[in-house]
């Protein structure tokens, strides 16, 4: 086989399997009540541009109603509360049976070290060996890291 043709075929194959190399961090609220969530970013964190919004930093989050089929087609935008870029924290209210996209960007891994305090009672941390988050990987790169809040 011609070397140029082989390079072209490998390039096409890689392009088809990596068309969405994005990552996402999602919090799902499958409990029976709305939840207040406070997000803490690690010290070395720098806010990056969100690949879905050309303006970069956002003062809001996208949420999705888990009871609706194809809920990703109609996200509801909710505001960040007490947003402080110096201390790297913000909070928000997540309705029951909804999910919120915390981070979405082009990359292979999410921002490790993010901590989430739920109702001032539970703290979960996103790290590579976290059992608090379930990862659903994409074909080649990225994936979605999801934490689900349930009634105990």
pLDDT, tens digit, for every residue of 4-32?
Answer: 776 766 655 555 455 555 888 999 999 99
Give domain limits for the chain.
Answer: 20-149
Neighbours of 26 (CB within 10 A): 21
Lowest average pLDDT, out of 58-67, 69-78, 92-101, goes to 69-78
Percentage of the chain exceeding pLDDT 90: 47
Mean pLDDT, residues 41-65 taken together: 69
Position 131 scores a pLDDT of 92
Separation of alpha carbons 28 and 98, rounded Å: 6
Output the average pLDDT for the chain. 82
Q: How far apart are the first and last CA of the chain?
A: 60
Position 48 scores a pLDDT of 56
Position 108 scores a pLDDT of 77
Q: Does residue 60 carry a pLDDT above 80?
A: yes
């Amino acid at each position: 086989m011609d070397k140029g043709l082989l390079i072209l075929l490998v390039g096409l194959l890689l392009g088809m399997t990596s068309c969405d190399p994005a990552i996402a961090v999602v919090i799902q609220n499958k409990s029976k009540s709305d939840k207040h969530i406070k997000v803490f970013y690690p010290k070395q964190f720098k806010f990056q541009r969100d690949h879905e919004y050309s303006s970069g930093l956002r003062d809001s989050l996208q949420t999705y109603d888990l009871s609706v089929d194809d809920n990703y087609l109609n996200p509801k935008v909710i505001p960040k509360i007490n947003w402080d870029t110096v201390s790297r924290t913000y909070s928000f209210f997540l309705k029951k049976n909804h999910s919120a996209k915390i981070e979405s960007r082009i990359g292979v891994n999410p921002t490790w070290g993010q901590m989430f305090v739920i109702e001032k009672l539970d703290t979960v941390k996103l790290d590579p060996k976290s059992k608090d988050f379930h990862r659903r990987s994409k074909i080649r790169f990225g994936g979605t890291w999801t934490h689900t809040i349930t009634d105990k």
